[in-house]
């Protein structure tokens, strides 16, 4: 069992966090624990409550239940002290297309009453360098690719030293090159010690970048841990090849397995797939029972579940797995 982390070791902690819109429970009883130094993927299909959670974390929406700690300080009570140490990119700031990337950042920073004007130009240049836009700093934003605009948005979030960066779907709508640029940037920021909390509806995104993951489905947290922990949690899958699919299905269901007939047959035989839950009998017993019931077993395999299968099982259908 993993030890319960101390509040000091967590960049974000929520306890029983919830919010409804009318009758819709957008976020329900959410307990998040985001370790400092992690790249934490917040994964879930569209509408599962990710943006609502992020807005509550940043004090942009009011929870109707639960509590939030950011960098070990209570939110929203300590917002004035905490938020300057947190960078965020939610919908992306609106940039003026005919101003350069640099001029846009200077403008946005000037509009921020908490920012220090005497260090402005130095901070803007440092942020542009960090996201790899140093050379394009003087180009008008309308000439930027989507990936460059997104990196400019992240540069805006990095105009002060940040301990935590919160990014809502930062690769949404980007082409593969833009996606790679943002992914690379996230990794670089994490190696410098910034905790990165990043939401996505794409498993591939989270799998390639993150050390930890939380999975949302319909406003509920359905899994949380390191990627390795989630992989290890997956139940093995059994696949049975037989001409006697009807009898086989009845036997597997009697033994407590949630089996289904694969729509793609293997030659003359049908194929049945089932998840081997923790309550299910050993695979050897399954074969014995099938044979005893007269099922002609022509193929039987047991396979560890992939992370993808695990997430589909957790979130149900309609989950975008790839871009
Ligand atoms: N301001 C609002 N008023 C009413 N309903 C809302 C509001 N904001 C979100 N919702 C509803 O709350 C639920 C969760 O939405 P949320 O935007 O948090 O999900 P999400 O996981 O971020 O999805 P997406 O990736 O599409 O933004 C949805 O059913 C959404 O329609």
Torsion, Cα 51 56 60 65, to 10 degrees, reads 130
More confident residue, 241 or 314: 241
pLDDT of 107 reads: 93
- pLDDT at residue 318 tops 50: no
pLDDT of 319 reads: 45
Cβ of 38 closer than 6 Å to ligand 1, yes or no, is no
Nearest CA to ligand 1 atom 5: 21
Q: What is the CA(296)–ligand 1 centre distance, in A?
A: 50
Mean pLDDT of the chain: 88
More confident residue, 173 or 226: 226
The single residue listed with the structure tokens 């109707």 is 64
Torsion, Cα 147 153 159 163, to 10 degrees, reads -90
| Over residues 73-85, mean pLDDT | 92
pLDDT of 177 reads: 81
Cβ of 217 closer than 6 Å to ligand 1, yes or no, is no
* Rounded distance between C-alpha atoms, residue 74 and residue 72, angstroms: 7
Provide the percentage of residues in the chain whose pLDDT is more than 90: 53
pLDDT of 300 reads: 94
pTM higher than the cut 0.80: no
Cβ of 63 closer than 6 Å to ligand 1, yes or no, is no
Looking from the CA of 136 toward its CB, the CA atoms found within 13 Å total 17
pLDDT of 50 reads: 94
Q: Give the burial string for 295-323 (b: 16+ CB within 10 Å, else e).
A: beebebeeeebebebbbbbbbeeebeeee
pLDDT of 113 reads: 80
Mutate to test the pocket of ligand 1, among 18, 19, 21, 206 (most ligand atoms within 8 A of CB): 21
Q: In which band, very low, low, confident or very high, does the pLDDT at 58 lie, cut at 50, 70 and 90? A: very high
pLDDT of 46 reads: 85
Chain segment 7-49, per-residue pLDDT in tens: 889 999 999 999 999 999 999 999 999 999 999 999 988 889 9
Cβ atoms within 10 Å of 65's Cβ, excluding its own: 15
| Over residues 164-175, mean pLDDT | 87
Maximum distance among all Cα pairs of the chain, rounded to whole angstroms: 83
- pLDDT at residue 323 tops 70: no
Which structure tokens are listed for 170?
Answer: 């930062």
pLDDT of 3 reads: 65
Q: What is the CA(4)–ligand 1 centre distance, in A?
A: 30
Q: In which band, very low, low, confident or very high, does the pLDDT at 2 lie, cut at 50, 70 and 90? A: low
Chain segment 259-314, per-residue pLDDT in tens: 888 887 788 899 998 877 777 888 899 999 999 999 999 999 988 767 777 777 77
Q: Are 3 and 162 in contact (CB under 8 A)?
A: no
pLDDT of 175 reads: 79
Ligand 1 atom nearest residue 27's Cα: 14
pLDDT of 321 reads: 42
- pLDDT at residue 232 tops 90: no
Mutate to test the pocket of ligand 1, among 25, 52, 203 (most ligand atoms within 8 A of CB): 52
pLDDT of 322 reads: 42
Q: What is the CA(172)–ligand 1 centre distance, in A?
A: 16
Chain segment 109-148, per-residue pLDDT in tens: 998 888 889 999 999 999 998 888 999 999 999 999 888 8
Helices and strands counted in the chain (H then E):
11, 15
Mutate to test the pocket of ligand 1, among 19, 28, 43, 48 (most ligand atoms within 8 A of CB): 48
More confident residue, 188 or 174: 188
């Amino acid at each position: 069992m993993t030890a319960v982390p101390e509040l000091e070791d967590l960049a974000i902690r929520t306890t029983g966090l919830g919010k409804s819109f009318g009758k819709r429970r957008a976020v329900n009883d959410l307990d998040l624990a985001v370790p400092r130094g992690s790249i934490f993927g917040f994964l879930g299909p569209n509408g599962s409550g990710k943006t609502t959670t992020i807005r509550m974390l940043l004090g942009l929406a009011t929870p109707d239940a639960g509590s939030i700690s950011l960098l070990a300080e209570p939110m929203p009570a300590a917002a004035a002290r905490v938020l300057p140490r947190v960078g965020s990119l939610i919908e992306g700031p609106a940039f003026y297309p005919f101003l350069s990337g640099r001029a846009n950042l200077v403008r946005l920073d000037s509009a921020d009453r908490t920012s220090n004007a005497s260090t402005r130009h130095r901070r803007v240049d440092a942020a542009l360098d960090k996201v790899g836009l140093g050379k394009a700093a003087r180009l008008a934003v309308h000439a930027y690719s989507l990936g460059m605009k997104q990196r400019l948005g992240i540069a805006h979030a990095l105009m002060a030293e940040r301990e935590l960066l919160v990014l809502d779907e930062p690769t949404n709508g980007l082409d593969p090159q833009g996606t790679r640029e943002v992914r690379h940037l996230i990794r670089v920021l994490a190696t410098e010690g910034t905790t990165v909390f990043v939401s996505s509806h794409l498993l591939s995104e989270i799998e390639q970048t993150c050390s930890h993951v939380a999975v949302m489905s319909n406003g509920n947290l359905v899994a949380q841990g390191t990627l390795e922990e989630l992989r290890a949690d997956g139940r093995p899958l059994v696949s049975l090849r037989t001409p006697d699919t009807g009898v086989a299905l009845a036997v597997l269901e009697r033994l407590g397995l949630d089996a289904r007939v694969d729509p793609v047959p293997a030659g003359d035989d049908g194929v049945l797939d089932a998840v081997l839950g923790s309550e299910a009998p050993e695979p050897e017993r399954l074969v014995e029972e099938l044979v005893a019931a007269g099922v002609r077993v022509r193929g039987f395999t047991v396979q560890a579940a992939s992370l993808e299968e695990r997430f589909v099982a957790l979130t149900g259908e309609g989950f975008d797995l790839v871009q």
